[in-house]
A and B are shown apart, each in its own frame.
Chain A
């Protein structure tokens, strides 16, 4: 394993051997490199002011993704290219089209969020095709602007590809080769006076490391763990990063199930999941934002045991199972059994989630998911309801229902399922199911919603499923496919 963190900063090589492995990329840029164009807005990955772009080579071409530098640890740069706002200057110091478009559309007012927007736009610029409004909204959902109301920025996103190209040095041909030369293919075992950071390349290495360091912090995408450092002011040592483990990044399709490696990002899983289950796809689209989905993983979403993680309820409704591994030993459990209680999961020291097995026995239209939050994009759910209902000849043949935000863990509504199963699919049955939810859950009140609202909306979502499974379903959604707004 290599000893220094090696990456490209723009088109310049960097080998860091003495940084604090808890140092965020934002602080690295501002404090170590003196590149102050990247801003801190929140230090928790929710505003996008710190957006930078990571480049990765697949051997031939570069692939770019926008990430939040404020909660990304510097060792995670190993083997990658880091592009910040200062690297977008073209020949003669001229502007990149994304920058040019923002000037022309009056897309800046106070300017503090602007570098982050530009970096998201730059990543979009490098994607093929002309973006439509929905894609622009998705690209920019993680960049908050408090001044403009977004209109001119959306226009800049539309206009930029029609402006004169101006290729900065950081995207010149040859970068991929330069990056490949930088990496020896081995993982990272980094140690400085401030701590250790391991980024193994194989699952066996990961298993060995975790046996050797059972108390290590397992770092996946870091969109939650990053806040332990920036907000809770914890110092994490050692950290074992799963993001470079090849097997954990695999998503394999079988006839009757999907196997999702624990380190597969939301962004990489989105397309396949959306193909099978459009509603689950929409949940992932609305989860976090592009910068979060580009690094955040489904395995991490499960691993941290949050009661309000968005991927567990649909997975549990689908009957997903987990493969956990400790050393050479593996065990498989139902996902719902992983969540024991608030803050308590069925994972032993040294054990890690290797993959998620998602059965494909459910038909696309049988899974309905509803994410309820104050804002449609990039908001944590107050309640998330996932309904896997099979209705045959007017009767409920199967009901697997799971809610997030209603208990200390993602939890199945067993009483409700029992009230529905085998019954005719009528409003009367829905009413029975609604009543049963009272015995399934005792939700709490917090800043996202009151207990009363959570219970009422949980019940109403069942009613909504009923409306949507009518012969002539009415318009019943405000966002996503089939919504009023997007026609």
Chain B
């Protein structure tokens, strides 16, 4: 154990509580992180006879598997076993939503380059990986479909198209004073969690399997393992202490490696570890969906939107995975903060011969927002107005302007006040003027400015997932054991929940032992996703703690002959009438009086309901809001670009832990910025991913952080709904603040045409795309290129 040279947080005056909610506590594992003592799966002591695994990967994007000759693989040094689809005892399917289109191992058909066809178990990782390359495979090549365009042309979809509609957009477009039609391509994104996918499976008695993994969804792995291994769910236990980053990439994508390890453990009776090499991880696991967004907008001469007709087509890859909900969420966020009077949203879920795309922070929402923010810019350029004016003009408002395209009334709209505050604190208009002047005299470098807001719906849109459980034990010495269904991926969930329980019991947070998430303690959990972790597990843990607290209060009332209302938990003590009893002492007394000191807690989010067939309802409990102003510079000769200054104001309600939340806001912003600038997924004509490692896939580095970065939590924030201590979810929403950077780059390009033409910039805004957008704009303008 490493001790800090000073306390993690300043201790409060004697007698007050250490911890509790609304406090800047450090991440519960911070000391372990900095000392290298935090254990990730690959750091666990290795069992005797451990086997190391590797997958045989398809070298075709789309082909029939005519022959899979694995003799050389079996004969390779160190190899103990090789298994194919034929060896799977149960179902060869790991699809998370029952679409049955996601084989654990390819069987007769490969549908993307890199798809696992067999698993090798060997004495070392190196031997397994070397052996996996030795398979002799005969393929019958089929035509690969690699792009959204190609899939649309062929009508290849993983799921049926879906529509959302309010009013009659087609008719309103015809009547609109002005109309613009356009298109934008929005790139995908690799999660690039620093810890690659990993699983360790141990064979247990009765044929059971214990799995240690890095997953946001241990319950799903448990249930899927049961299907694949043909055993009941009670034969599989899945434990996750922490992940080295996840970002959605370990919601469904951790399952395959767990199940292959479990399969090997079951079939060989030996422990098995599957740790993916980075290049293999990037080739074999899904990413953020790339989108093709078509739009036609009608608006009046002031810039008020009267109609929007948009088609959002995404590349889902070879299987459905979570594409239904992801594309739904893109539709749910095609309005962002704006009232769309007559609206029609059509969504195509394209099937391609690429890895199946999956959850990624924002879950489709960001792509919908990029589309509508482009539409706003289009209107501004057409009218010769500042895009911020158009944004403010179109915000949701009072009755008549407060219903979303999915017929939910927006009841908590803080966007107007929040934007007004940021507009002032960022000095938007003075800087707008100064930048315009700079651009007039700077021939090579141009600067751009944009303010974009975020309104993000909080809740799983699949309503049944909005449930959570927790388990709290109080031991007879007064120490507390806390467990819940949420997983820790770095977002600080564990410390937030511990703060909630500390607040409830009124005890110091270091009396609470935070324990690894396991399917053995809290069953049937939802993924830690949709930003819901603290909201739901916080409520469940609070309920569990409250149950025990109520029992203690009842015991104390009876013991000391006071009414239960006269029992007060405060600052590590329990006030019972005239008496003050230290918390551990009361617990000790209660134990001897046979009081039950353990409880589960359960929570289901109220108010949410949604009927997908009609696309109507209230899919979200509430909305999280934020806004960012980005200032950028571009080089019109090279397309290089740089973010110079960013101002952020973000609403987290009454924060459970402002320091943790600031970390989510800053980190989310940078991740969103990376998505829209330097992070490019590039597939070659054969469907091979060319950007399969950090040498070619460029997430933001230290120097890419804006030199001037001003991040503030919205002080007036308070959830109007009864969430845990009136806080708001913070995991995903800040990612979309990064859209301000993309629109600022487009703004800088637009300066070349006196802000009267909209650049056709697609994302990510790599130097190449920016330079081509510059040239295209200059040609459209009819002048010379820079």
- Chain A residues at the B interface, C-beta cutoff of 8 Å: 30, 35-44, 46-47, 49, 84-86, 88-89, 92-95, 97, 99-100, 102-104, 106, 108-115, 118, 133, 136-138, 140-141, 143-154, 163-164, 166, 231, 233, 370, 372-380, 382, 446-450, 452-453, 456-457, 460-461, 463-464, 467, 474-479, 484-485
What are the interface flags for B623-664 relative to A under an 8 Å C-beta threshold, 1 for contact and 0 otherwise?
000000000010101111110100000000000000110110
Which residue from chain A places its CB closest to the CB of B637 in the assembled complex? A460
Q: Is the CB of A110 within 8 A of B193?
A: yes
Q: A110-B195, A111-B38, A379-B698 are in contact. Are A42 and B278 (CB under 8 A)?
A: yes
Q: Is the CB of B195 within 8 A of A41?
A: yes
Inter-chain CA distance A460–B38, complex, in Å, is 50
Which residue from chain A places its CB closest to the CB of B281 in the assembled complex? A42
Inter-chain CA distance A85–B43, complex, in Å, is 14
Inter-chain CA distance A461–B444, complex, in Å, is 11
Q: Is the CB of B694 within 8 A of A111?
A: no
Task: Check if B138 is an interface residue, CB within 8 A of chain A.
Answer: no
Task: Check if B695 is an interface residue, CB within 8 A of chain A.
Answer: yes
Q: Chain B interface mostly helix, strand, loop or mixed?
A: loop
Q: Is the CB of A46 within 8 A of B642?
A: no
**List of A residues within 8 angstroms of B244 by Cβ:** 39, 110-113
Task: Check if B699 is an interface residue, CB within 8 A of chain A.
Answer: yes
**List of B residues within 8 angstroms of A138 by Cβ:** 703
Which residue from chain B places its CB closest to the CB of A90 in the assembled complex? B5
Q: A152-B663, A154-B702, A457-B639 are in contact. Are A103 and B34 (CB under 8 A)?
A: yes
**List of B residues within 8 angstroms of A84 by Cβ:** 36
Q: Is the CB of B40 within 8 A of A39?
A: yes
23 pairs, CB–CB < 8 Å, chain A vs chain B: A41-B194, A46-B693, A47-B694, A95-B5, A100-B5, A103-B26, A104-B6, A109-B490, A110-B193, A111-B33, A112-B193, A144-B192, A147-B490, A149-B667, A151-B705, A372-B767, A379-B698, A380-B696, A449-B767, A452-B772, A457-B767, A460-B771, A484-B633
Q: Is the CB of B27 within 8 A of A106?
A: yes
Binds A, one of B87-95, B109-117, B126-134, B393-401: B126-134
**Residue B277 contacts which of A43, A99, A448 (CB distance < 8 angstroms)?**
A43
Q: Is the CB of B31 within 8 A of A144?
A: no
**Residue A137 contacts which of B38, B195, B693, B703 (CB distance < 8 angstroms)?**
B703
Q: Is the CB of B5 within 8 A of A166?
A: yes
Task: Check if B171 is an interface residue, CB within 8 A of chain A.
Answer: no
What are the interface flags for B241-254 relative to A under an 8 Å C-beta threshold, 1 for contact and 0 otherwise?
01111110000000
Q: Is the CB of B27 within 8 A of A109?
A: yes
**List of B residues within 8 angstroms of A147 by Cβ:** 245, 490, 663, 667
**List of B residues within 8 angstroms of A49 by Cβ:** 194
Task: Check if B671 is an interface residue, CB within 8 A of chain A.
Answer: yes
**Residue A484 contacts which of B445, B771, B772 (CB distance < 8 angstroms)?**
B445
* CB of A183, distance to nearest CB on chain B (Å): 28
Q: Is the CB of A475 within 8 A of B442?
A: yes
**List of A residues within 8 angstroms of B247 by Cβ:** 146
* CB of B277, distance to nearest CB on chain A (Å): 6
**Residue B444 contacts which of A92, A152, A450, A464 (CB distance < 8 angstroms)?**
A464
Task: Check if B580 is an interface residue, CB within 8 A of chain A.
Answer: no
Q: Is the CB of B642 within 8 A of A376?
A: yes
Which residue from chain B places its CB closest to the CB of A450 in the assembled complex? B768
User: Which bracket fits the contact residues of B?
Assistant: 35 or more
**List of A residues within 8 angstroms of B644 by Cβ:** 484-485
Inter-chain CA distance A86–B43, complex, in Å, is 14
Inter-chain CA distance A464–B636, complex, in Å, is 10
Q: Is the CB of B31 within 8 A of A110?
A: no
Q: Is the CB of B771 within 8 A of A457?
A: yes
Q: Is the CB of A44 within 8 A of B35?
A: no
Which residue from chain A places its CB closest to the CB of B785 in the assembled complex? A460
Inter-chain CA distance A141–B702, complex, in Å, is 6
* CB of B217, distance to nearest CB on chain A (Å): 17
**Residue B195 contacts which of A39, A44, A133, A378 (CB distance < 8 angstroms)?**
A39
* CB of B240, distance to nearest CB on chain A (Å): 13
Number of residue pairs A-B, CB distance < 8 angstroms: 303
Q: Is the CB of A448 within 8 A of B669?
A: no
Q: Is the CB of A150 within 8 A of B705?
A: yes
Q: Is the CB of A370 within 8 A of B638?
A: yes
**List of B residues within 8 angstroms of A43 by Cβ:** 277-278
Q: Is the CB of A94 within 8 A of B36?
A: no
**List of A residues within 8 angstroms of B635 by Cβ:** 476-478
**List of A residues within 8 angstroms of B30 by Cβ:** 102-103, 106, 108, 111
* CB of B410, distance to nearest CB on chain A (Å): 29
Q: Is the CB of A148 within 8 A of B666?
A: yes
**List of A residues within 8 angstroms of B278 by Cβ:** 41-44, 47
Q: Is the CB of B642 within 8 A of A95?
A: no
Inter-chain CA distance A485–B417, complex, in Å, is 31
Task: Check if B465 is an interface residue, CB within 8 A of chain A.
Answer: no
**List of A residues within 8 angstroms of B766 by Cβ:** 374
Q: Is the CB of B695 within 8 A of A46?
A: yes
* CB of B564, distance to nearest CB on chain A (Å): 40
Q: A46-B693, A47-B194, A108-B34 are in contact. Are A460 and B638 (CB under 8 A)?
A: yes
Q: Is the CB of B445 within 8 A of A378?
A: no
The 6 closest A-B pairs by CB, nearest first: A37-B36, A110-B490, A112-B244, A111-B33, A447-B690, A149-B670
Task: Check if B140 is an interface residue, CB within 8 A of chain A.
Answer: no
Inter-chain CA distance A323–B420, complex, in Å, is 66
Q: Is the CB of A112 within 8 A of B445?
A: no
Q: Is the CB of A151 within 8 A of B709?
A: yes
Q: Is the CB of B660 within 8 A of A106?
A: yes
Inter-chain CA distance A373–B766, complex, in Å, is 9
What are the interface flags for B680-692 relative to A under an 8 Å C-beta threshold, 1 for contact and 0 otherwise?
1010100000110
**List of B residues within 8 angstroms of A375 by Cβ:** 678, 698, 700-701, 704
Q: Is the CB of A44 within 8 A of B695?
A: yes
**List of A residues within 8 angstroms of B188 by Cβ:** none
Task: Check if B2 is an interface residue, CB within 8 A of chain A.
Answer: yes
Q: A106-B26, A372-B638 are in contact. Are A146 and B699 (CB under 8 A)?
A: yes
Inter-chain CA distance A35–B37, complex, in Å, is 10
**List of A residues within 8 angstroms of B700 by Cβ:** 149-150, 375
Task: Check if B491 is an interface residue, CB within 8 A of chain A.
Answer: yes
* CB of A228, distance to nearest CB on chain B (Å): 13
What are the interface flags for B747-786 relative to A under an 8 Å C-beta threshold, 1 for contact and 0 otherwise?
0000000000000000000111001100100000000000
Q: Is the CB of A453 within 8 A of B667?
A: no
Additional A-B contact list (7), CB under 8 Å, known A377-B703, A447-B691: A47-B694, A99-B2, A112-B194, A148-B670, A377-B704, A378-B701, A460-B638
Inter-chain CA distance A147–B126, complex, in Å, is 30
**List of B residues within 8 angstroms of A102 by Cβ:** 30, 33-34
**Residue A464 contacts which of B637, B639, B670 (CB distance < 8 angstroms)?**
B637
Which residue from chain A places its CB closest to the CB of B45 in the assembled complex? A34
Q: A374-B698, A467-B443 are in contact. Are A110 and B663 (CB under 8 A)?
A: no
Q: Is the CB of B40 within 8 A of A114?
A: no
- Residue from the set B36, B441, B682 with the largest chain A CB neighbour count within 10 Å: B36
Q: A36-B42, A92-B3, A148-B663 are in contact. Are A463 and B701 (CB under 8 A)?
A: no
Task: Check if B489 is an interface residue, CB within 8 A of chain A.
Answer: yes
Which residue from chain A places its CB closest to the CB of B9 in the assembled complex? A104
Task: Check if B707 is an interface residue, CB within 8 A of chain A.
Answer: yes
* CB of B189, distance to nearest CB on chain A (Å): 11
Inter-chain CA distance A46–B279, complex, in Å, is 12
Which residue from chain B places its CB closest to the CB of A231 in the assembled complex? B279
Inter-chain CA distance A260–B341, complex, in Å, is 69
Inter-chain CA distance A374–B659, complex, in Å, is 32
**List of A residues within 8 angstroms of B663 by Cβ:** 106, 109, 147-148, 152
**List of A residues within 8 angstroms of B639 by Cβ:** 453, 457
Inter-chain CA distance A437–B691, complex, in Å, is 28
Inter-chain CA distance A233–B279, complex, in Å, is 13
Task: Check if B12 is an interface residue, CB within 8 A of chain A.
Answer: no
**Residue A99 contacts which of B34, B245, B670, B698 (CB distance < 8 angstroms)?**
B34
**List of B residues within 8 angstroms of A140 by Cβ:** 701-702
**List of A residues within 8 angstroms of B691 by Cβ:** 447
Inter-chain CA distance A111–B704, complex, in Å, is 20
Inter-chain CA distance A92–B3, complex, in Å, is 8
